[in-house]
Structure 1
Amino acid sequence: MLGSLRVWLGREELDLGPPARRAVLGLLVLAGGEATSQQDLVDALWGERPPRSAVNVLQTHVKHLRRLLEPDRPSRSGSEILPHVGGGYALRWDAVDVDLPHVRGLIAEANDALRDGETGRAAALFGEALRRWRGKPLADLPVLATHPKVVSLVAEHRSLLARYGDAMLAIGAAEEVLTELVEAAADQPLDEPAQARLIRAYHGAGQRATAFRLYQEVRERLVEELGVEPGPELLAAHAALLDDGGPLPAANPRPAVRVPRQLPAEPPGFTGRAIELSLLDELVPEQRDSGGSVAIAAITGTAGAGKTALAVRWAHRMKDRFPDGQFYANLRGHSPGPPATALEVLTRFLSALEIPAERLPADTETASALYRTLMTDRKALVLLDNVDGVEQVRPLLPAGPGCLVLVTARDRMAGLVALHGARRLTLDMLDPGEALELLARILGPERIQAEREAAAEVAGLCAYLPLALRIAAANLADNPGSGIEDYAIELRKGNLLAALTVPGDEQIAVRTAFDLSYAALPAETRRLFRLLSLVPGNDIGVEAVEILTGTSRAGAMLDALAGAHLVEQHAPGRYHFHDLLRRYAADRLESRESPAERESARRRLREWYLRAVDHAAKQSYPHMFRTPLSVPDGPLPAVVKENASEWLETELANVVAVAEDTARTGPRPVAWLLADALRGYFWMSLRQVEWRAAAGAALAAAEEDGDLRARASARFSLADLNFRQGRYRAAVRHYTGALVLARRAGWVEAQAAVLGNLGCAYWQSGRLPAAAARFSRGLELSRRVGRPAGEAVALGNLGLVHWEMGDLPRAAGHYVQALRRYRRIGSRYGEAINLSNLGQVQHARGRTAEAAGLLTRALSLHREAGNRAGEAETLGRLAAVYADLGRIPEALDHARDGLRLARETGEPRGEGEALIALAGVHQRAGHRPDALRRYRQALALLRETGDRYPEIDALIGLATATGDVGQARHALALAERAGYRALRDRAAAAVDSILRG
């Protein structure tokens, strides 16, 4: 109930059917075992105007629910789970297992612990109860959102979070609960206890200045919106701040973080716009340290006017005035494919603000609220380029008065001006003097001076638009023997003809300049220019253009186009279009190339990407299961043969664009084949935005075609994405769906692969027997179909389970068997993982020198394969080995490097384990404060993710470092409950050691 409504029968999740049927079951569960009349159910579902057939529909829903919940019930017999009671229905709580009573039981136990003075135990129990909430109660049933019992559950969750926060603050763990309290306060801006609790948390975490600022903000909000002064809880929190004594820290109290610096390179040869730059300069002094609102400027104007160039130029001039970061996003308002969504941009911005992957919200509203909270005290610049409309921008506006938002758009952004106080700067053409200056930069001042009148006429005929002027100048530069007067005559003719045919078209001048430049190109180069409009992404490399056009001379022709300013070379060997030029090229393509020729070019490019991704997958992650891919033989990119990871990194945006394009326009199988082949790369690199886009395109295409294997593949990819983000419940849901589809399709290899990853989800959640059962079943299926890669994965996973169960010899045996298979199939990635795992086991078995050798070899292979998460994990393990060997400086270096890498990858469990490794080295070195700080950071992070094994590991370390026998006993109880025998033994040893003093 605590999240979307989900039901299992045994181990299989049930598909409950349509929302109304799910709502009926939700209402009956909410009744707590009591009968609910048919009329009450009808009222809840349909309100004041139910259909005439409402009762019949309700009875049909109940009948279907009974069949789902009791598939073996004899016909005509009474239901034991959902009986008819007194003119209504009841769900017998004694016949089913509901999550809500378990949570309430934990809360009751925690309340008893509080009464007994065991605050630490209470905090742990409250935290355990919170982890069982998967989201808003019955989140998938909006029809019940306002039902009194659902509203009551929401209030119950807020109360639980408050009790957890109070308990954590009472035991001095303010830093560990800060994130939860920030989100709770953002969700309840006028709730005084929630705001007071956050003030106390900031105070307890040593962020006194932030606590003072928050108090002032809350007081102003209460006075402005409610007309009241702060109540006793806020006043008490404020008084505690004042009683703390000492001056407020002058520096920003936030911990040191990476400062985002996302601006594109400055535009070369920028000319003019002095007035516009000075107008933008006036915005900066308006920024204040507190009070006021975010400043917004919107640069609007016609295509080709140089909006982006002006914005980027100004942003670089002013970046030092925004020390907390410069954020940039191209919202693709007029680019090929769909515009960027606000959630896509928020995900990137929140990642840049160091929000861990598993905490990235899945909906725009929540992501926007978190973004605003994090930006409140920052002085940052946000540049939103190529905006399609106001709705794209609103969720991306920060709240802090120290921030400035700069928007570029063709739209006038009237809503942004009216509702958000934006200052609009409408960018017109260059003035005549600036236009001549731009021409002189390209052609040289002497040539302009010699034919000044003709140059002025060219500038006027180009409508003083920077894009048209650059193209005209490039055309003249390529023909130094031709006079500017002659070019003006040609340009004049073109403008006259266009004006006669398309009166009032504001882009006539630009298109005329395009026409002249295009006509001056050799025929082969014109054809290449036309075909470039077929590229789905925003840029393209030389090799891909050779495939698209079927010529080996693409590099020289692209250089010619760049010289004519018809394409832009934005990186070595990489080119992109201005969107006006893309549209112009598409028009030329439509008129000159037949549909068959256009499709032939698109097919060549698709097949090239399919071949390349297939080759990269075979080279980089051959052990990972994927859909068999059949594509005609043909050329491969040179780089992919030498360094597949490098090629994937460079071409990823284009490959995803091809997947999205084919999901919309066909052929649809390309979308899911590309997404499936990329799954292994996404798993290693954690490129979440691109992963979500590719998997979403694959699922849309697969469901449109109804292909069972394709649907299973797409669900598998979405499951892996959720798994890597630490969202294990969502991962299990998708894995289960993929498994059902694979069984329906009779696809045994896929079943084995999904079972393996499903087992990993259970393993990460601490359900070791369930994990072992799925790994063993996956191993059996892989052996049946003769797939050694599947065997290798299953054996390695079984090693992990036996490691956590404390059976070290058996774990080592599984790792050795897995290593043999990985080496047989040539998977360096799999070999590295199992070498590292074997090294960890041998270290635990006291074979320290052997462990050092295994881990050193694993580290080298991880670096070779580009697996940064594996590298981070191995660095931490090697640090522990070096600490045992007495090599403390090396151990600290390795542990710090591992933590840095883990944070960069954004994998929460990896970061938690890296923190534990660093804390352990500090403890061995006698650095007790550093060890305590790192253990507490690890514990806070891992409690959020639900990764039980490392969480208990961190708790044992913290208990040992503090000498807290209560914490050690709590760790022992958790380890026993989860079946972690190795941790149980460690926790028991910690209890004995602390008691002995």
Structure 2
Amino acid sequence: MAVRIQVLGSLRVWLAGAEVDLGPPGRRAVLGLLVLAGGEAMSKQELVDALWGELPPRSAVNVLQTHVKHLRRLLEPGRPSRSGSEILPHVGGGYAVRWDAVEIDLPHVRGLVAEANEAQRDGETGRAAALFGEALRWWRGRPLADIPLLATHPKVMALLAEHRALLARYGDAMLAIGAADEVLAELAEAAADQPLDEPAQARLIRAYHATGQRATAFRLYQEVRERLVEELGVEPGPELAAAHSALLEDGEPLPAPRSALRVPRQLPAEPSGFTGRATELSILDQLVPRAGSYGGAVALAAVTGQAGAGKTALAVHWGHRVKDRFPDGQFYANLRGHSAGEPATALEVLTRFLAALDVPAERLPADTETASALYRTLMTDRKALVVLDNAVDVDQVRPLLPAGPGCLVLVTARDRMGGLVALHGARRLTLGMLEPGEALELLARVLGSEWVRAEHEAAAEVAGLCAYLPLALRIAAANLAEDPGNGIEDYAIELRKGNPLAALTVPGDEQIAVRTAFDLSYAALPAETRRLFRLLSLVPGNDIGVEAVEILTGEERAGPMLDTLASAHLVEQHAPGRYHFHDLLRSYAADRLRDSPAETRSARRRLHEWYLRGADQAAKIVYPHMFRVPLSVPDGPVPAAAKENAAEWLETELGNLVAVVEDAARTGPRPVAWLLADALRGYFWMSSRQVEWRAAAGAALAAAEEDGDLRARVSARFSLADLGFRQGRYREAVREHTGALVLARRAGWVEAQAAVLGNLGCVYWQSGRLPAAAARFSRGLELSRRAGSPAGEAVALGNLGLVHWEMGDLSGAAGHYVRALRRYRGIGSRYGEAINLSNLGQARHARGRVSEAAGLLAKALALHREAGNRAGEAETLGRLASVYCDLGRLTDALDHAREGLRLARETGEPRGEGEALVALAGVHQRVGHRQDAVRRYRQALALLRETGDRYPEVDALIGLATATGDLGQARRALALAERAGYGALRKRAAAAVESILRA
């Protein structure tokens, strides 16, 4: 039986197409060392030294022999017990792996490199580039990446150097044939890993130059030169100097092309009646980067000052005034430095900014450092304005600073931002009160010039009593406008009366004038509106809709009251039907509510339970097949949108939903925290909103552990395990799932045990441990049946189908898919139905039932689009394209393949990308575009070998063999197709072998 070994990445072994579980790290290390020995024997002492160092245990040799014994059993399961090993023989007192007895990725890669070198010597640079690229695609990561104790072994380090050399050769060849755009990302990554490697940096500069990004190339040269001088005390060598000279000879640097850039427009609406601040506006105007600038640091300004000074109004007004000078977009984030709840994290803001830059949700980094680096990279060649409003301190702002010198960052904060000024060169503008004349002008804009002129002295007094602060002035003007029967003099008298009282009731309050204006506005409201205003301070998120306000207050007609508050400038309507208010007003409203603890508790409970019922309702519609904790909350109203457009409601309210989880974890009732987080888990999974997912699951776990509720702890750890799996952190996922399983057994919760086993099986399946995955899926199916859970049965059956598919049992796979489909349809899960229809369609295609496959896949595609599952849509598009190609519908095949490839790359799904590439290659081959077909087949094979998806891999091998006349590839494809039972592919592979032999 054929044995295939991978060492370029994590150590993996396949026996007859099925992956082998090698066992503990020590055993894996033994095999890794022997493979890297290149077929030469290693003595027992050499192996012991490599594994244990200078102080091995007395049992080291016995342990080593035991590892070898187990490896022989795993690699040669049918070998008689007393016969010699063909793969891992005993040689001269040591052991060796016979390279000629197994298929190893390393010698294959070296063969490709040798062939590429020969092509390059013959002047075939294009062929050399393709072969170098193919060799690189066999590298899955650091050699023996999953064996930390060998990380610094000399042979591993030598392989890393070999990889760097290969990447350099590939980069040079691709630059030589004019394909810089295809290799730019790899060169940028290599240069980042080797900041002082001059050839690597020069190669990247040449690539930027070749793709028209000369501004970036100039800037990179300056950065590398400064680094060399500062760290090594040397000037750039000949390669860097030559790259720089080529830039200079090509004229002035050009801006990067903007045709492919998305242009975010995130500034809030321009504040009405903005007045004054001419000096500050002029200073900001001077900071705008000049056209054609490509050197220097990003421009920074910090607008600081006390609350109510109009910092946000100035920033937003100026942003609208100069937005045309930032053609690549305007970014805005409220950092919530002084709002209720926690300030915004840098990762939260980076996630929103990266989404605006077209980074798919599935590819958003889950840590601040990586997200910040990606943000800086994407902003490098943009000319954009970034407004960071209401910052806490410099640490919150620093990860949000872009790298592009064409960008300007405007920060507003109460803090003086000394670190931003000292370390980053920010220009600070301290915003104080308005000038008296400007304050009168603001009043006149609202009240009319004639009225202010008629009562000039009283208006001047009102402005002074409001401390010339814009927020207080706007509220005062709104109060006067609402009651024109009273004069400005009357209002001034009221303000004079209010100040001493405010000073007594709020000792040390910096905003006495503002508080007095609030008092007068608040007192003028009807009683029910005052109550609504007070209760708004309980809103855990940044904004709220009318329906939620009605739940919070128990009032049936909150809309008119919200309009009254908006007219008095006590809240702001920032979107149709949605409101938020200034943090000072929130604080004022909270102060007014402190004397009503009973009302506070009941209002908060009403709002929390309403959001919980909404999430539960949406979950039943969008992902009914997913296991969830049974809801235990009193019956009551459910958000209308959660019933009518559930997915859209979840997206709109997500910020509030996560805020409710965190609020409930802090203030109670704690069950709301874990129940709501559990209801959202399916949405997090489908949308890949990983930042919000971690926040909700973490808060839920804290609440569950505080209360000691076993089921709650199962739910929270289950969610964290799913998140780890989604992020590819399999060890974390296994640890959390195992913990959840132990707790579920202690609680006697059979349905949860089934769900955990199913998801644990998915982790094993994804990491290639198919027997372990099948065992857990089967046990989960048994438990779901015992618990009477059709949803659990559906998931387990679908997963068992996938395992049987990968084991080559097509009939068994199809049977499981059909049974899963019945249950998914029974519970109304379009999401689950679509996945299993697509998988069944692939199985039918594999057995040659092409027309039936086309029908199944077309239905699956429609359902995926209906459910909003973009990853499933991408995968199904590729599969359907292959079917259309076999049916001769080449135009349809080409359209589906291209769309599938685009969508797969957006969603970060290598399986879908691989299948789309196979289909695209097939179309190219049918229409005679041989070189394009070969290139696409090789790209597909590199991806599919990594994902382990055998059917499209065999399809690609047949196509590549046919296109290149490679008999070895054709025979390998035939053997794989026969072993897996792919009837249609077996016939094609046999025909390919026969055709090549005849030729």
**TM category, shorter:** 0.7 to 0.9
Asked if 1:131 is matched to 2:141, the reply is: yes
User: Which of 817, 822, 835 in structure 1 is aligned with 2:824?
Assistant: 822
Where does 1:524-923 land on structure 2 (aligned, <5 Å)? Answer: 524-590=528-594, 592-594=595-597, 596-728=598-730, 730-885=732-887, 887-899=889-901, 901-902=903-904, 905=907, 907=909, 909-910=911-912, 913-914=915-916, 917=919, 920-921=922-923
Q: Distance in 2 between matches of 1:299 and 1:91?
A: 70
Q: Distance in 2 between matches of 1:182 and 1:121?
A: 21
**Partner secondary structure for residue 348 of structure 1:** helix
Q: Give, in angstroms, the shift of residue 378 of structure 1.
A: 2.8
The Cα shift of 1:494 comes to: 0.9
The answer (yes or no) to whether the contact 2:751–2:784 under 8 Å persists in 1 is yes
The aligned amino acid for 1:113 is: G
SS in 2 for 1:336: coil
- Higher mean C-alpha displacement, 373-382 vs 642-651: 373-382
1:312 matches 2:316:
yes
Aligned to 2:432: 428
Check conservation: 1:928, 1:961, Cα contact below 8 A: no
Percent identity (aligned): 73
Residues in 2 aligned to 1:268 and 1:728: alpha-carbon distance in whole angstroms: 53
Q: 1:485 aligns with which of 489, 494, 498?
A: 489
Partner letter of residue 643 of structure 1? N
Are residue 455 (structure 1) and residue 459 (structure 2) matched? yes
Match in the other structure for 2:195 = 189
Show the counterpart of 2:964: 963
Aligned residue number for residue 49 of structure 1: none
Q: CA deviation at 1:799?
A: 2.8
* Equivalent position to 1:401, from 400, 405, 408: 405
What amino acid is aligned across from residue 529 of structure 1 in structure 2? F
- Flag the 1:235–1:962 CA change in 2: closer, same or farther, 3 A: farther
Please state how far the C-alpha of 1:993 moved relative to its aligned partner. 6.3
SS across alignment from 1:328: strand
Aligned to 1:113: 111
Residue 221 (structure 1) aligned to one of 224, 227, 230: 227
User: Amino acid of the residue matched to residue 222 of structure 1?
Assistant: L
In structure 1, which of residues 227, 231, 237 is the aligned counterpart of residue 237 of structure 2?
A: 231
One-letter code aligned to 1:455: A
1:517-568 alpha-carbon deviations (Å, 9 max, x no partner): 1111122221121111111111111222222222213222222111211111
Task: Tell me whether 1:323 sits opposite 2:341 in the alignment.
Answer: no
Partners of 1:735 and 1:754 within 8 A in 2: yes
Cα gap change, 1:320 to 1:731, in 2 (>3 Å) = farther
Distance (Å, rounded) in 2 between the aligned partners of 1:208 and 1:957: 43
Q: Could you tell me which residue of structure 2 aligns to residue 44 of structure 1?
A: none
Give 1:270 deviation, angstroms.
3.3
CA apart distance, 1:912: 5.3
Instruction: After TM superposition, give the deviation of residue 413 of structure 1 in Å.
Output: 0.4
What is the distance in 2 between the residues matched to 1:832 and 1:258? 31
SS state of the match for residue 50, structure 2?
coil
Give the distance between the partners of 1:686 and 1:250, measured in 2 at CA.
37
1:437 to 422, 436, 441: 441
Give ranges in structure 1 of 5+ residues lacking alignment.
15-27, 39-61, 63-77, 84-89, 139-143
TM-score with structure 2 length normalisation? 0.81
Q: 2:386 aligns with which of 371, 382, 398?
A: 382
- Partner of 2:41 in structure 1? none
TM-score of the aligned structures, taking structure 1 as reference length: 0.81
Alpha-carbon distance between aligned partners in 2 of 1:432 and 1:989, rounded to the nearest angstrom: 91
Q: Which amino acid aligns with 1:869?
A: A
Structure 1 contact 792–817 (Cα < 8 Å) conserved: yes
Task: State the shift of 1:734 in Å.
Answer: 4.0
1:480-501: CA deviation from partner (whole Å, max 9, x where unpaired) = 3222221221112112433466
Cα deviation for residue 276 of structure 1 reads: 2.1
Task: Name 1:471's counterpart in structure 2.
Answer: 475
The whole-number CA distance in structure 2 between the counterparts of 1:626 and 1:452 is 66
- Matched with 2:279 is 275
Q: Evaluate the alpha carbon distance shift between residue 939 and residue 115 of structure 1 in structure 2; reply closer, same or farther with a 3 A threshold.
A: closer
Relative to structure 1, the CA distance from residue 459 to residue 859 in structure 2 (aligned partners, 3 Å threshold; closer, same or farther) is: farther
- After TM superposition, the structure 1 = structure 2 runs for residues 198-277 of structure 1, keeping only pairs within 5 Å, are 198-199=204-205, 214-215=220-221, 217-231=223-237, 234=240, 252=256, 256-277=260-281
Q: Which segment drifts farther, 960-969 or 654-663?
A: 960-969
Amino acid aligned to 1:963: T
- Deviation readout 1:728-782 (Å, 9 max, x if unpaired): 5554454444444434544332232233333334444454444434333322222
| Separation (CA, whole Å) in 1 of partners of 2:498 and 2:155 | 70
Q: Are the equivalent residues in 2 in contact too, given 1:759–1:774 (CA < 8 A)? A: yes
1:179 paired residue number: 185
SS of the aligned residue for 2:609 comes to helix
Aligned residue identity for 1:558: L
Q: Which residue number corresponds to residue 32 of structure 2?
A: none
Contact 1:938-1:954 within 8 A present in 2 as well:
no
SS at 1:639's partner residue? helix
Tell me the CA shift for residue 412 of structure 1. Answer: 0.7
Shift in alpha-carbon separation, 1:615–1:941, aligned structure 2, 3 A: same
SS state at 1:33 partner: helix
| 1:495 and 2:499 are equivalent in the alignment | yes
Q: CA RMSD in A?
A: 4.5
Deviation, 1:726, is 4.8
SS of 2:389 mapped into structure 1 = strand
Alpha-carbon distance, 1:228 to partner: 1.4
Structure 1 residues 137 and 932: alpha-carbon distance in aligned structure 2, compared to 1, 3 A threshold: same
Unaligned runs of 5+ in 2: 1-6, 12-19, 26-45, 75-95, 118-129
More deviation, 569-578/731-740: 731-740
Aligned pairs for 1:149-168 within 5 A: 159=161, 161-166=163-168, 168=170
**Residues in 1 aligned to 2:114 and 2:599: alpha-carbon distance in whole angstroms:** 80
* Mean CA deviation greater in 911-920 or 223-232: 911-920
CA contact (8 A) 1:183 1:370 kept: no
Letter in 1 for 2:192: A
Question: What is the SS of the residue equivalent to 1:760?
Answer: helix
Equivalents in 1 of 2:153, 2:335: separation in Å? 37
Q: State the secondary structure of the residue aligned to 1:282.
A: helix
What is the CA distance between 1:335 and its match in structure 2?
Answer: 2.0
Per the alignment, residue 28 of structure 2 pairs with none
Query: Compared with structure 1, are the counterparts of its residues 805 and 926 closer, same or farther at alpha carbon in structure 2 (3 Å cutoff)?
Result: farther
2:78 equivalent in structure 1: none
Q: 1:235 to 1:805 in 2, by over 3 A?
A: farther
- My pick for the range that moved more, 205-214 or 336-345, is 205-214
**Contact persistence 1:113–1:121 (CA under 8 A):** no
- Given that 1:461 and 1:492 are in contact with CA atoms closer than 8 Å, whether structure 2 keeps it comes out as yes
Q: Is the 8 A contact 1:2 1:136 kept in 2?
A: no
Alpha-carbon distance between aligned partners in 1 of 2:627 and 2:349, rounded to the nearest angstrom: 31
Aligned CA distance change for structure 1 residues 957 and 752 (closer, same or farther; 3 Å): farther
What amino acid is the match of 2:424?
H
Paired residue secondary structure (1:32): helix
Question: Residues 405 and 922 (structure 1 numbering): CA distance in 2 closer, same or farther, change over 3 Å?
Answer: farther
* Distance in structure 2 (CA, Å) of the matches to 1:357 and 1:697: 22
The SS at the match of 1:634 is coil
